[in-house]
Structure 1
Amino acid sequence: MKKFLSAASLIIVIIHLQSCDFSKRIDTSAAVKEMKMRQVKRILPQDITNKADTWGQEIQALIENPKNQISLDSIAKKFQVKIQSGDAENLKKLHKDKKILETLDALAYSQSLQQDIPPSIQKNSQGDSLYYLFIDKKSKVVLVGFSKSQIILNIDKPFIK
Structure 2
Amino acid sequence: MKHALLLFALIALQACDFSKRIDTAAAVKEMKARQVKRVLPQDIVNQVDSWGQEIQAKGAAKLDSATKALSISVRLGAPAELKLSFKDAKMVGIMDALDYSISQKQDIPPSIQKNTAGDSLYYFYPSETGKITVLGFAKNIVIQNMDRPLIK
TM-score > 0.5, shorter chain as reference: yes
* Number of corresponding residues: 147
Distance 1:75 1:52 in 2: 12
Residue 139 to residue 147, structure 1, CA distance change in 2 (3 Å): same
1:108 shift after superposition? 1.0
Is the 8 Å Cα contact of residues 129 and 145 (structure 1) preserved in structure 2? Answer: yes
Is the 8 Å Cα contact of residues 70 and 141 (structure 2) preserved in structure 1? Answer: no
Q: Residue by residue, what CA displacement relative to the aligned partner does 1:96-141 show, whole Å, maximum 9, x if unpaired?
A: 11111111111111113333x1111100111110000010233210
Give the structure 1 partner of residue 112 of structure 2. 121
Residue 127 to residue 106, structure 1, CA distance change in 2 (3 Å): same
Letter in 2 for 1:58: E
Q: What's the % identity of the aligned pairs?
A: 52
Tell me whether 1:39 sits opposite 2:30 in the alignment. Answer: no
Unaligned runs of 5+ in 2: 1-22
Tell me whether 1:135 sits opposite 2:126 in the alignment. Answer: yes
Is the 8 Å Cα contact of residues 133 and 141 (structure 1) preserved in structure 2? Answer: yes
Is the 8 Å Cα contact of residues 72 and 136 (structure 2) preserved in structure 1? Answer: yes
Residue 62 to residue 113, structure 1, CA distance change in 2 (3 Å): same
Tell me whether 1:77 sits opposite 2:73 in the alignment. Answer: no
Supply the RMSD in Å over aligned alpha carbons. 3.3
1:32 shift after superposition? 6.8
Give the structure 2 partner of residue 62 of structure 1. 58
Give the structure 2 partner of residue 49 of structure 1. 45
Larger Rg: 1
Q: TM-score, normalised by structure 1?
A: 0.67
Is the 8 Å Cα contact of residues 55 and 62 (structure 2) preserved in structure 1? Answer: no
Alignment of 1:10-29 (within 5 A): none
Q: 2:85 aligns with which of 70, 85, 94?
A: 94
